[in-house]
Amino acid sequence: MSEFVKLEIGDGIGTIRLQRPPMNALNTQVQEELRSAAEEATASADVRAVIVYGGEKVFAAGADITEFTTTTFQEMTVRAAALSSAFDAVARIPKPVVAAITGYALGGGCELALTCDWRVVADDAKLGQPEIKLGIIPGAGGTQRLARLVGPARAKDLIFSGRMVDAEEALRIGLADRVVPAADVYSAAVELVRPYVNGPAMALRAAKQAIDGGLSMDLASGLALESHLFAGLFATDDRIEGTTAFVEKRKPGFTGR
């Protein structure tokens, strides 16, 4: 039974909820519980979209630095891959995923937000990768996902300086997708993903795989991946329903099969 990370399911939406007050520090236990929650959300047919949420006060203020003060090089050599793969489990959820960010999303918290497809950010939130101030660098995907999202020059600015950005700047550089009052963050996240709950789940899965997978390939390989995934959808019930509904001029009733 998870202690700090819960998967709450309702109306087709799975909320991965961090509950380690006061700041949702991402220690080793939280990382592994995140992995488990992501795997559960991936496997559950009752989950059609996902929200990652830290609560009304804070998303996640980063790693548990007390662990770092005594961790040796040999220990981190073993742990670093597990840290990265725990966050990658969230990135690989084959469903629409949004981060609902209040308070702080710093260090590992920002990296967790980067694993999501979108970020809904409170107007008073702060985001950043301050690891450089500890003499280290982001180790859970920050150097890679941030650069792909906002471009290498902006990523270097944020990671080299370790500075925090407010919601307005995050929106301007593409780190945030929507900025809303803090009290509305979770409801805005629900609003964002709700249209996908009754959508064509297999097509959404294929679209996410094509986009995310293609980013690590050259154009020719990406196009080949797209063609493969496109053709595969012709084996689904939703393709039959979607195309038939279009011809019959009615709203499709997708089943996710």
Active-site residue set = 63, 108, 111, 131
210: tokens are: 């094509």
Its sign, for the CA torsion 102, 105, 109, 114, is: positive
* Strand locations in the chain (E): 5-10, 13-18, 49-53, 97-101, 104-106, 118-122, 126-128, 164-166, 178-180
What SS3 state is found at 131?
A: helix
Write b or e for each residue in 85-96: b if 16 or more Cβ atoms lie within 10 A of its Cβ, otherwise e.
ebbbbbbbbbbb
Place of tokens 């084996």: 235
Closest alpha carbon to 122 in 58, 173, 62, 63 = 58
Task: Note whether 15 and 7 are within 8 A (CB).
Answer: yes
The rounded distance, in Å, linking the Cα atoms of 111 and 94 is 18
